[in-house]
């Protein structure tokens, strides 16, 4: 988990610089409208400013929070995991593209298509930001044959990655999206309704 800079002495850092850095963790779901609102505000006017304004002081972590009452949530986050596997530098552009098209993956827009058809549409979104569409789909596709051991829950190429993400998130006890942790502590003052100006004010106050 994240460590507040004032407690940096607790960390034994093997040549990592800087040793003390603030961590802002965003627990977001790709098919949550409020997550989209928060992410799109950040991506358009806040994230581009961070390297220049807070160099070496802040890292932002997008924690992929699957919400199981949205059946397509798992599928969208699997697509995010595939992008991370193939082109990590494209994860944020892909996330922006997916959030901008999130309604296409709401319940009523996926109920009449197969799981693999949904994966194909997600792979196309990845292709639009420069990730190899075929490779993304290759990681996502679910086969219709039993595994070598006869198992029927065969999963796909990112199933193990998603399991790790879910395990990490469960350790925090996070439930709703969006949720924000600052240096490992729940930050209730931040909401999806934050404007760009409110984000700038909060960052100026907290990133020292």
Question: pLDDT tens, 154-200?
Answer: 999 999 999 999 998 999 999 999 999 999 999 999 999 999 999 99
For the chain, what percent of residues have pLDDT higher than 70? 91
The model's pTM is 0.92
Residues 199/41, Cβ–Cβ less than 8 Å: yes
DSSP code for 204? H
Q: Is the pLDDT of residue 5 over 80?
A: no
- Residue 208: per-residue pLDDT: 84
* DSSP count for the chain of H helices, then E strands: 9, 4
Residues 202/60, Cβ–Cβ less than 8 Å: no
């Amino acid at each position: 988990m994240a460590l507040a800079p004032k407690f940096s002495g607790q960390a034994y850092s093997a040549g990592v610089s800087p040793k003390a850095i603030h961590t802002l963790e965003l627990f977001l779901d790709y098919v949550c409208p409020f997550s989209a609102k928060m992410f799109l505000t950040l991506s358009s006017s806040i994230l581009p400013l961070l390297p220049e304004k807070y160099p070496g002081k802040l890292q932002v972590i997008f924690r992929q929070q699957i919400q199981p009452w949205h059946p397509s949530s798992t599928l969208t986050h699997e697509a995010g995991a595939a992008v991370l596997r193939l082109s990590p530098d494209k994860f944020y552009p892909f996330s922006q593209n997916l959030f901008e098209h999130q309604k296409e993956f709401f319940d009523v827009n996926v109920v009449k298509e197969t799981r693999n058809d949904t994966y194909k549409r997600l792979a196309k979104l990845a292709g639009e930001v420069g990730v190899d569409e075929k490779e993304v789909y290759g990681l996502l596709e679910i086969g219709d044959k039993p595994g070598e051991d006869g198992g029927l829950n065969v999963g796909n190429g990112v199933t193990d990655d998603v399991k790790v993400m879910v395990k990490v998130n469960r350790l925090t006890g996070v439930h709703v999206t969006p949720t924000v942790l600052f240096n490992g502590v729940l930050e209730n003052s931040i909401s999806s309704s934050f404007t760009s100006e409110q984000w700038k004010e909060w960052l100026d106050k907290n990133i020292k």
